[in-house]
Amino acid sequence: MGNDHRFNERTFAMSLHATVTILPPAQNSAPVTLPAPWGEEQPRLDRHIELWLSETARLLGATPLPTDESRRSDVLRLALALAEAERIIKAQQAEIEKLEALSLNDDLTGLFNWRGFNRQVSVGLAEAQRTGIGGVLIYVDIDDFKKINDTYGHAAGNAVLREIAGLLSHKVRQHDSVGRLGGDEFAALLTRTSAAQGFRRVRDIAQALEQVTILHDGIAIPVTASVGAVAFSPDDSPEALLERADRRMYDCKRGRTRLEVA
């Protein structure tokens, strides 16, 4: 049905009562009783009812709207069925969107998960191909994360993961993307930026990561991370870009430096 003729829940209930009051119930069906008084709104509601029924009649190819009460009653029943079907479809669409969001996001941090971040990389590279402007991909790996879990417990480890996720999210722009790729690995995609500008921001992120201390249950937990970053161009592929950034991060970790860029 057209947007102009849709009701909110309250108006729909009023219109349903008004229409059933006017038209007889279907054969062998129980009468429908709903509370009414509407006062000054009644004439406007009557007009909405007519528009609603006329729209249903048009969709059914039964225009103009029948004047015979029995035929109008048929149109009413079909209108109610269409409205209920529309409600069910909307509920199903909302559930599908919810499930899709869950499949693309990490439950603990709210960031993109591996699947969601890979999708963002593909979108970012497609944008780079359209605009000719590349960007920078950052890989972050928390140092000795297993030791943090073993020493302070998994709740403390989760607090560390959420803190790093918040720091990275705060350090990027709205159109950039941040993901938790699994375990203690994170990534950030900086789009629409030159390599020089992107690496300046990478160094800012690396410096911020060097100063992280998590306070958990009254205990201060120092956290360090290894960071690798690579510039990308419109000619890059998602797989090659992710592999290069991952390799840079491990170069950093093996060299015990805090940042590797290329």
Is 204 marked active-site? Answer: no
**Which of 30, 32, 29, 11 is CA-nearest to residue 21?**
32
User: Catalytic: which of 184, 235, 236, 251?
Assistant: 184
How would you classify the pairing of strands 225-232 and 135-142?
Answer: antiparallel
Cβ atoms < 10 Å from Cβ of 114 = 16
* Cβ neighbours for 186, distance < 8 A, ≥ 6 positions apart: 111, 139, 140, 141, 164, 165, 168, 178, 179, 180
Residues in the chain: 262
CA–CA separation, 99 and 92 (whole Å): 11
Report CA 42 to chain centroid distance, whole Å: 40
Q: Which residue, chain included where needed, has tokens 């497609």?
A: 126
Active-site amino acid positions? 184
